[in-house]
A and B are shown apart, each in its own frame.
Chain A
Amino acid sequence: MLRIENLTKMFGGLAAVKDISVEFEANQVNAIIGPNGAGKSTFFNLVAGSHKPSFGHIILDGEDITTLRCDYIARRGVGRTFQTTNLFEQASVLDNLIVGHRLRTRSGLWDVLVNSRRLQQEEKLSRDKAREALEFVGLSHVENRFIADITQEERKRVAFALALTTDPKILLLDEPAAGINPEETQGLAELIGRMKDHGLTVCLIEHKMDMVMGIADKIMVLDHGEKIAEGTPEQVREDPAVIEAYLGSDDDAAA
């Protein structure tokens, strides 16, 4: 589904992501973990196209998307959420979501001027998509509330819904469970599971290990920009390199 080959990103002389090769299978939940500054967010930015890699290739469904601009990558089916999602606070949840399907529509200025049938159909389609996504994340009952008036957890779900309205094949979630309580985290994990059931491929960055171990089919561990381990949750948990990265080696402890 998504194949990464020798991906490297240099910022000046510093390699934020160093020679990563990995393959994410379709219809699975893939987690990327690692200590702070390990290059996880940079990795996402490279896949989504907001940063251009220094070396390497990103191949989505057999197509090389390495050099594409991020709006084209989004159209190829890569959706993403951010650690913080800036939405229009003084507009309703639904109003914020309607634009999500814009990338699958073609209406331009002329359609606005003559109020063309195409524009009307596409607006209806976008509205339906927004409602559908809202229902999927379980927030239909707040569709008319202002973004400013909903809870932190509901905002996370709205951010999911916004990414879903773009009709993605693969979804990149950057720390979805940051800043919410354990119970809500459980709810989000269930939601991610439902996405998988609906045929989506999910990649997530997350620090909450309970959640990651519970839902991930595959985990990639990054440290200092390098991939130090890869495998099922059980394999990764036992991996000495992972334990060292998280807890420090015996040498460090002695020093």
Chain B
Amino acid sequence: MWLKLAALLTRPATKYFFIALALVFPLVAQNEYQIYVMASAFVWAIAVYGLNIITGYCGQLNLAHGGFFALGAYTLGLLTADYGWSYWPALVAALVMTAVVGFFVGVVSLRLKEHYFAIFTLCVGFIMYLLMDKWEELTHGPVGVRNIAPPNGFGLVDFTDTTSIYYLVLVFLVLTMWFIGRLSRSLLGRTFTAIRNGDELAQSLGINLMRNKVLAFVLSTTFAGLAGALYAGMVRFIGPEDANVLHTFDMITYLLVGGIGTLSGPLVGTMGIVWLTQSLQFMEEYRMILFGPLLVFLVIFFPRGIVGSFLSWLHRRTQGEAEAAAKTQQSRGTTGRRVNNNA
């Protein structure tokens, strides 16, 4: 019974159910603030999906992710506020900017492995923060960027109220998930996973390490840039604090809780923690007393996060039942329905 219910969650059709839920959410939300929280959770989820490509699938812990998020936000913010660009060209510029900077940072940093790569990218993120904080002529320094343009509307739709922004962000989130889903099932996604399993083995399979790692890195920074640009257009005010490395660690937490290297993990983790944080608002800083043990508990007992552990459990159960069934029939043939590990 439970197994059947659980298996239902991995059906392809289930995603339409969740999209429908997201579509009606603004109608049932109690106030505008909830819609706003949901929209910002979607924005973070997009960034976490980016992080999942390089860290989850490809196995390289990138600590500059928050920096790229802020780079996207600043590109859009400065172009619209100081240089009179309208929103959509500025959004494209933000994507190009994070992709190009990502390429050069990737080419240099990916020559390093494991913790050296993590430390290097931590420094890159901090340099980005310093540039935003100290380069006052360009970035206005600690004052931040104000008067960022909201998204231009199309005909009947304009993006001046929270609900329409919510739908805009939702569209980008769905597009992101669609792309990552397709990527993770493709040969390219499998190539990234092979690199995570080990450089040496991947090379023995004829995989060009540098090219694939740089590609994964650029994809990941571009999604960070997309999230940052959406964020800037939504909050309309950004400052150097948005590049704080704490945001990177927040995103890593979302990823770990949801399930690293899984398709729905980033969304589950981000939603779960953002709403948990919101509902514990009254505890202020003491929330961390609850968060700390919770995180330790998750990492010890569910090292693959909520989604990853769920999928492993489901796979083993269906596999076990299928093998038991095969045994009773005394036949050695197929061993059960294949559970999609990417769900």
Tell me the A residues contacting B by CB distance below 8 Å: 48, 50, 70-72, 74-75, 79-80, 82, 85-88, 90-92, 94-95, 98-100, 102-103, 105, 107-109, 111-113, 115, 119, 122-123, 126, 141-146, 149, 162-163, 166
Q: From residue B314, how far is it (CB to closest CB) to chain A in Å? A: 12
Stretch at the interface among B86-94, B142-150, B166-174, B180-188: B180-188
Could you tell me if B187 and A122 are in contact, using CB atoms closer than 8 angstroms?
Answer: yes
Q: A79-B204, A109-B215 known; A87 and B197 CB under 8 Å?
A: yes
Find chain B residues with CB under 8 A from A71 CB: 203, 206-209
Residues of B within 8 A of A88 (CB): 193, 196-197
Contact across chains for A90 and B304 when beta carbons are under 8 A apart:
yes
A164 CA / B336 CA spacing, docked (Å): 25
> Is B319 part of the contact surface with A, judged by Cβ < 8 Å?
yes
* Bound-complex Cα distance A144 to B204 (A): 24
Contact A91 B341 (CB under 8 A): yes
Q: Which of B211-228 contact A (CB under 8 A)?
A: 215, 219
Closest B residue to A92 by beta carbon equals B341
Contact B190 A99 (CB under 8 A): yes
Could you say which residues of chain B place their CB within 8 Å of the CB of A103? 205-207
In the complex, besides A98-B190, A109-B188, A145-B335, 6 extra interface pairs with C-beta distance below 8 angstroms are A82-B200, A90-B308, A98-B187, A102-B194, A103-B206, A144-B338
The answer to whether A119 and B187 touch (CB under 8 A), given A92-B338, A144-B335, is yes
Say yes or no: A75 contacts B206, CB within 8 Å: yes
Return B172 CB to nearest CB of chain A, in Å.
16
Query: How far apart are A42's CB and chain B's nearest CB, in angstroms?
Result: 14
How many residues from B make CB contacts under 8 Å with A? 39
The reply on B287 being an interface residue by CB < 8 A is no
Within 8 A of A (CB), among B24-58: none
Using a CB-CB cutoff of 8 Å, which residues 108-151 of chain B contact chain A?
none
Q: Is the interface of A mostly helix, strand, loop or mixed?
A: helix
Verify if B84 is at the interface (C-beta below 8 Å from A). no
Are B206 and A99 in contact, CB atoms less than 8 angstroms apart?
no
**B191: Cβ under 8 A from any A Cβ:** yes
Residue B4 CB within 8 A of the other chain = no
Closest residue of A by beta carbon distance from B198: A86
Q: Please, how many angstroms separate the alpha-carbon atoms of A82 and B197 in the complex?
A: 13
Chain A: minimal CB distance from B29 (Å): 34
Q: Are B332 and A141 in contact (CB under 8 A)?
A: yes
B95 to chain A, nearest CB (A): 14
Residues from chain A with Cβ under 8 Å of B182 in the complex: 112-113, 115
Residues 3 to 39 of chain B near chain A (Cβ within 8 Å)? none
Kindly list chain B residues whose C-beta atoms are within 8 Å of the C-beta of A123.
186-187
Whether B301 is near chain A, meaning CB under 8 Å from some CB there, is no
Interface residues of B in 294-315 (CB under 8 A from A): 304, 308, 311-312, 315
Pairs across A and B, CB under 8 Å, 10 listed: A85-B201, A86-B198, A86-B201, A88-B196, A90-B304, A95-B341, A119-B186, A123-B186, A123-B187, A162-B205
Query: Which one of B187, B209, B311, B341 contacts A107 once the chains associate, using CB atoms below 8 Å?
Result: B187
Verify A102–B308 contact, CB threshold 8 A.
no
Which of B186, B204, B207 has the most CB atoms of chain A within a 10 A radius of its CB? B204
Given contacts A71-B203, A98-B190, A115-B182, contact A146 B209 (CB under 8 A): no
